[in-house]
Every structure is written in structure tokens, then in C-alpha cells.
Structure 1
């Protein structure tokens, strides 16, 4: 584990950029960027185009370590290069931004009001590759749709079990049990979720460090005790479907919670924009998310 990167994540001012749309969500991300499916055929062309989009974001002067602490990459992006350097090396060496990797293989079918992670039989191999590629940490997302105590416990137990496998590989896991923002009992789900997370945190080995990525809570500052927990390096928030303005407003009211936005970060960016327009739009986006993250 890179101590300098850990210190930056623990104490730095800023937010985490999520650039990790994967197989299923890539066409949608490209479409929001103004690239229609008719412009590519097959996965290879699609991934090349999305890498161009991410490269444009990362290389933009707006994508700056003054505002951005880390960036979450998709496996395909980790294996590609920017200006001759692997993406993670470019992020850290040229931009001062800490690289993370999305490691999950998507969601299992709903059961007990939640969606667990699909099995990851090749995780150890992927983690070994991530270490070689100078990745600092990982991310994996489950979803909670109902305040079902059994389902929520299963989600948290699975996340922490895999988290320990990631810690053993020398990486810092971002534990992400997302609560669906449209859930009718979101507040109750958050109460059960926090209880289960605290239980798992207290069972971690001495010196183990994880991060948490959570939906912005219904009750302001509800995750304060997780933010202050000695085994938690940082708690970051997903935008979860809120547009950027609403996500920022909600985030501002949660002290110590910082953003890890994906769609809300890329909102308004387009393939058709000139570099000046693109950089201006991204700069406004980055600064507004940064302001909401430093409260």
C-alpha cells in the first residue's frame, strides 16, 4: 500500500471521480456524451471510444489534484494507456490523483430486498494485476432496495468478506452497499445498514483500513460515526440518480462526506464540444462537486 496515497485519501480536500462505467453501462455513458451506438460496432470499438472520452476528461486542465483526490477506473481502462503510460500511472504521476479499480462483475438477481454481488472467481488474479498496474484500492457495488434486515446483513457480510480478500492483496477496498434513493423505506434501510457496517468494522483486524461508498443519507450527518471511525480512511457518496445540483445540495448538508460521482460528474459533457467548451463545462462541474465535498 502506498502510504503517500493513503494519506492523501485520508486527509486531502476534494472528491473521487468515478470513471468506471463497465460493459453494461458503457453504451449509456457514451450516449450521454453524444456518441450514438451507430458510431461503433462491437465491444472493441465501444471501449476504444469510451477510453477516448475518459482520456479527454483526465487530460483536461479541469481534472486537477487541487479538487480531485482519486479516480475509479474500469478494468479495461486500467489496461489502456494515456500518452504512453498506463492509466493508473498517468493519474498518479502526471495528475497527483490516486487510482482505484472497479472489481465487481455486476449484481445478482434480487433476493430479500437486495442485490448481492455476482460471484468473482477470478478476483485474486485481477487483484494481482491491479497491484502490478499500481492501483491503490478497489470498489464493488451491491444494492439495497428494501429495509430487509436479512438482506442488508447479507450485503454487508459479503462486502466485508471480499474486502478482506482485497486487503490481503495489499489494496484498500471501497465497500459500496448502495441504498436505492427511490426506496420507500430508505431511512430505515440506512439505520439497519449502519448497524451492520459498525459490527463488521469492529471485527476487522487491528490496522486494517477500508473506505465506504454510500448513498447520501436521508437524515443529515447520519454517517458521522462512520466518517470518524478509526478503521475508515474516508466515506464517499454516490450521486445515486440525483442530478448534480440536487446531489451537491444534499452532500453539502453532510459534513465530512465527500463525493464519488460518475454520471453527475460527466453531466453536460459532449463529444461535439470544442476543447474550450468541454474544459469549461468540466471545470464548473468539478468545482461545484468540490465545494459540496469540503463542508
Structure 2
């Protein structure tokens, strides 16, 4: 990737109208994603066949007529997807050069067991090598997820510290990290947890040196506009929202009340899509989802 391409991608992330598609279901969540798509576990044999099915689904989404940079300004990829191809072209290259969609890579390896009301990221072995590979394939940034279940200040501070530590490694390899400390929508103390999280994120951002820019991916907050001042922080490229298990309609309704967040939805993007649909029906359903999420992100 040239410096010019990187600058254009960063400008699109900072100010582009639209949302980021999350196409990054990993090994653990792939069977569920395929099941929702109408591909049950008796329809493939073994892990390779499973990943073949999910790549086919993602390729179908990427090649749909409404999946372009006009509404989808970025896409988060699973590692295997990044190493795959669309019509013989590496996926990240295809996204940017053919569709003007900025490519990201999911880098976390799943979650530790819950402690102090949170789930930290598991260790990420070989991270620097993977980041260098991603940069070589034209990837702009990364995404790394932790989960907060309770308003536990100690746990939330530990999650944020780990996120910024991994983010520093990402920046050192020339990429832009999406820091994602998700607050569970099922938390009994969601609003309190979000207030603690906001303060911890602000402290982490204030400590970053100039040029060390990040993005934030956060659960749509209970208090509308809670994260607006984080979006205005000089070290923040953009604040994006995860759907967190809300239906597409509810996620979009909640997001529309957040003036400085755009969507980065996964399950909500693929809602109602099925392998068994004709291309016309599939493209119409996906186009409807894309338009709903786009409108909510404006």
C-alpha cells in the first residue's frame, strides 16, 4: 500500500459517510453465522469445508451491487478471509481498488474467562508477523475485542489498558487499531459500566503521543451522545458502534440517536440473508440492510 492510499483511507475513515461492515466471524462463531445463513452443520464436513462456506457467503456479500464505498466505507475481515481472494484478487486489494472500501483485520484470538466482571483478550501469538503480513496485503487497520459485563472499575481499567497496549503494537507496524471494549447489552449495570469506560478511554487517549491515532468500536450507549467528546478527541479517527445482539431495526434506531457514531455491524448486516435465495432476492435483502444501516449512520 502506498502512503497516498493510506492517506486516502484515513480520510475516508475520518469523514466518509457510511458504515463499516463486520465480516469477521472467526472459528467459534462461524457455525452460528452459517446457520443463520441457512447452511447447517450437516451440509459441510470439517473445518476447511466450513471456512469454504463462510468465504463463499462473504464473497457473495462483497460482490453485491450495493456493497461499495458509497455506503460501506470499510470492512473488517477474518484472517482467512484476508488471505483469500475475490475473482482471483486478494480480498483487501479487491475491496479498496474495486469498491473503495477500506480493509481492516480482526486480530484478537478470543476471550479469557470472566474475571472482575470483564473478559480480557487471550494472548495473541505472532502478532507483529501477522500485522506485517496484513500491511503487505493492503490492510489499513485492525480490530480487537474485549467484553465488559459489569460496572467493575478495576476490570474495566484492565480491559482498556490491554486494548491500548495491543493498539500500540498495531501502530508500530503502520496500521490503525480499532479498540473495542464491548459493554454487554445484557449487563444489569450497562449505563454505569459505560460511564466508567468513557473515563478510562479518555485517560488512555490523553496519554497517546501525537500521530498515534486510533478508532473506537463501542456498544451503542444507554445515554445518547455519551461518547461525543471522545469522537472529537484529536487522537480518535472515528467512533463506530457494534450492534451487540440488537435486531437490525433496534440497532439502527438506537444508533440514529448518536450524532457522532457510525455503525460497524456484523449480524445485523447479514439479517435475512440465505444461501438458498436467488441472487436477486439476496441482493435486495442485503441492499435493504445496507440502506437502513447507512441511514442510521448519517
The TM-score with structure 1 as length reference comes to: 0.99
Q: How does 1:70-219 map to 2 (within 5 A)?
A: 70-219=74-223
Helix, strand or coil: the match of 1:72? strand
Partners in 1 of 2:173 and 2:69 — Cα distance?
Answer: 27
Partners in 1 of 2:47 and 2:209 — Cα distance?
Answer: 41
Q: How far 1:65 moved relative to its partner? A: 1.2
Provide the residue aligned with 2:39 in structure 1. Answer: 35
Provide the residue aligned with 1:65 in structure 2. Answer: 69
Q: How does 1:266-281 map to 2 (within 5 A)?
A: 266-281=270-285
Partners in 2 of 1:122 and 1:143 — Cα distance?
Answer: 23
Which ranges in structure 2 are unaligned for 5 or more consecutive residues?
none
Partners in 2 of 1:287 and 1:256 — Cα distance?
Answer: 18
Q: How far 1:256 moved relative to its partner? A: 1.6
Partners in 2 of 1:108 and 1:187 — Cα distance?
Answer: 23
Partners in 2 of 1:131 and 1:270 — Cα distance?
Answer: 33
Helix, strand or coil: the match of 2:20? strand
Helix, strand or coil: the match of 2:218? strand
Partners in 1 of 2:281 and 2:115 — Cα distance?
Answer: 45
Partners in 2 of 1:25 and 1:212 — Cα distance?
Answer: 22
Partners in 2 of 1:90 and 1:223 — Cα distance?
Answer: 33
Q: Residues 90-132 of structure 1: CA distance to partner in whole angstroms, max 9, x if unpaired?
A: 0001100000000000000111000000001211111111111
Runs of 4+ displaced beyond 2 Å: none
Helix, strand or coil: the match of 2:139? coil
Q: How far 1:136 moved relative to its partner? A: 0.3
Residue 22, structure 1, aligned to residue 26, structure 2: yes
Q: Residues 199-252 of structure 1: CA distance to partner in whole angstroms, max 9, x if unpaired?
A: 000111112110000000000001000111111000000000100000000000
Partners in 1 of 2:233 and 2:117 — Cα distance?
Answer: 28
Q: 1:244 aligns with which of 236, 245, 248?
A: 248
Partners in 2 of 1:88 and 1:205 — Cα distance?
Answer: 29
Residue 258, structure 1, aligned to residue 262, structure 2: yes
The TM-score with structure 2 as length reference comes to: 0.98
Partners in 2 of 1:208 and 1:24 — Cα distance?
Answer: 32
What is the alpha-carbon root mean square deviation over aligned residues? 0.6
